[in-house]
Amino acid sequence: MKIPARLKPLAEDGLIDEVLRPLKSGKEADVFVVRCGDEQRCAKAFKEANVRGFKQAAVYQEGRSVRNSRRARAMSKRTRYGQKEQEKAWLSAEVDALYRLSSAGVRVPEPYGFVDGVLLMELIVDAHGEVAPRLDALTFTADEAREYHDRIIAEIVRMLSAGLIHGDLSEFNVLLDAGGPVIIDLPQAVNAAANNSAAMMLVRDVERMRHFFGRFEPALLDTEYGKEMWARYAGGVLDPDTPLTGTYRPSNDDVDLIEVMAIIDAAREEEKERQARLKDEPEPDDLGDYRTL
């Protein structure tokens, strides 16, 4: 197919040789399957801020460091220059998160470069070489649900141990390849230690996974991984290999126990509202399996 205008800089730089087909058109970006030498990869072209559906909410940007003090001041004052710099920082957030998480051993697409608002990364495929499906397109046995739920919980632990929280994790941005779950779509990833809403976002991510897999294995609905995970992190006793039990028994030594409990309750109420909305929404299009939010 003809190379879209957004991808021409990558073609001119020799990063891609051919655009094979569109994969997904979403609120945040348009995604294409491209050929790079003998490999097929994925090119995610982020849309301009004025046409994107996902808002750069302050809750996600809190705690993101800006090394240049002039840029930081301009961004805080919302000058024209500051808004441009804020847009650049937002677009680079996913790239930074992918490199950081990939080096930490988290199952995310491997990033290959970021040019003019286009992220070139690994194309996640299944055992047959086809684009890997999203979780929401699949059904599971009870045993499969528990296995994949446990593996995603392990990935969330690795992410948190690396200092990041996805911030909008759901069945729509987890792919399943031959090796298991792969987490995608990270432009809203937050700094776990520097964002005041980090606990709420972590619990919300875990609750969505619990609710999704609980459809196939109801016993998962009784687990408390989000609460247990955050308590261990806040107490400084969480590492990538920390075994979790799915249970949580508060003690007088817990950090901010009342706040954590309030976060859990709020996240669960929000998830109930989200599930109610999903029942009334039309099915997503079938252009591909990479969803941009």
Per-residue pLDDT, averaged over 2-24, amounts to 94
CA distance 16 to 254: 52
* Residue 292 in domain: no
Predicted confidence (pLDDT) at residue 255 exceeds the cutoff of 80 = no
Average pLDDT over residues 71-90: 55
Q: What is the DSSP string of 196-251?
A: TTHHHHHHHHHHHHHHHHHTT-GGGGG--HHHHHHHHHHTT---TT----S-----
Question: Range with the lowest mean pLDDT among 77-81, 132-136, 193-197, 272-276?
Answer: 77-81
Residue that the structure tokens 């669960």 belong to:
268
Cβ(130)–Cβ(192) below 8 Å: no
How much is the mean pLDDT over the chain? 82
Is 41's pLDDT higher than 90?
Answer: yes
Residues 183 and 224 in one domain: yes
Amino acid at the residue 20 = L
Neighbours of 275 (CB within 10 A): 12
Do 257 and 157 reside in the same domain of the chain?
Answer: yes
Backbone angles phi, psi at 140, to 5 degrees: -135, 155
d(CA 163, CA 198): 10
pLDDT of residue 254 exceeding 70: no
Q: Which of 76, 93, 122 is the last residue of a domain?
A: 122
CATH code, domain carrying 143: 1.10.510.10
Query: 290: pLDDT confidence band, cut at 50, 70 and 90?
Result: very low
Is 233 contained in some domain?
A: yes
Q: Are residues 118 and 139 in the same domain?
A: no
Confidence (pLDDT) at 229: 94
Domain shared by 114 and 185, yes or no: no
Q: Which two tokens stand for residue 94?
A: 């996913």
Above 70 in pLDDT, residue 82? no
* Residues 23 and 60 occupy one common structural domain: yes
What is the model's pLDDT at position 261?
Answer: 57
Model pLDDT, residue 285: 44
Structural domain count, the chain:
2
What is the CATH classification number for the domain harbouring 89? Answer: 3.30.200.20
- How many residues can be counted in the chain? 293
Domain annotation covers residue 212: yes
pLDDT band at 293 (very low <50, low <70, confident <90, very high): very low
Residue 70 and residue 158 share a domain: no
In a shared domain, residues 51 and 154: no
Same domain, 201 and 270: yes
pLDDT tens per residue, range 164-207: 999 999 999 999 999 999 999 998 899 999 888 899 999 999 99
- Assess if residue 127 is contained within a domain: no
pLDDT of residue 52: 47
Q: How high is the pLDDT of residue 264?
A: 58
Q: According to the model, what pLDDT value does residue 118 have?
A: 94
Same domain, 107 and 69: yes
Does 17 map to a domain? Answer: yes
Do 111 and 149 lie in one domain? The reply is no
**AA identity, residue 245:** T
Q: Which long-range contacts (CB under 8 A, 24 or more apart) does 265-268 make?
A: 266/200, 267/200, 267/203, 267/204, 267/207, 267/226, 268/207
Domain boundary among 78, 93, 122: 122
Q: Give, as one character, the DSSP assignment of residue 4.
A: P
Dihedral angle computed from the Cα positions of residues 201, 238, 150 and 93, in that order, rounded to the nearest 10 degrees: 40
Q: Does residue 290 or residue 92 have the better pLDDT?
A: 92
- pLDDT recorded at residue 102: 94
- Asked, for residue 293, whether it belongs to a domain, the answer is no
- Under DSSP, the state recorded for 169 is -
Which domain range does residue 39 map to? 5-122
- Greater confidence (13 vs 92) lies with 13
Does residue 286 fall inside a structural domain? no
pTM: 0.78
CA distance 290 to 58: 25
Distance, CA of 108 to CA of 159 (rounded, Å): 10
Mean pLDDT across 95-120: 94
Where does a domain end: 65, 100, 122? 122
Residue 289, in any domain of the structure: no
**Mean pLDDT computed over 267-271:** 64
pLDDT for residue 6: 92
Q: Are the CB atoms for 142 and 136 separated by under 8 Å?
A: no
Looking at the structure, tell me whether residues 66 and 174 fall in a common domain.
no
Do 91 and 26 have their domain in common?
yes
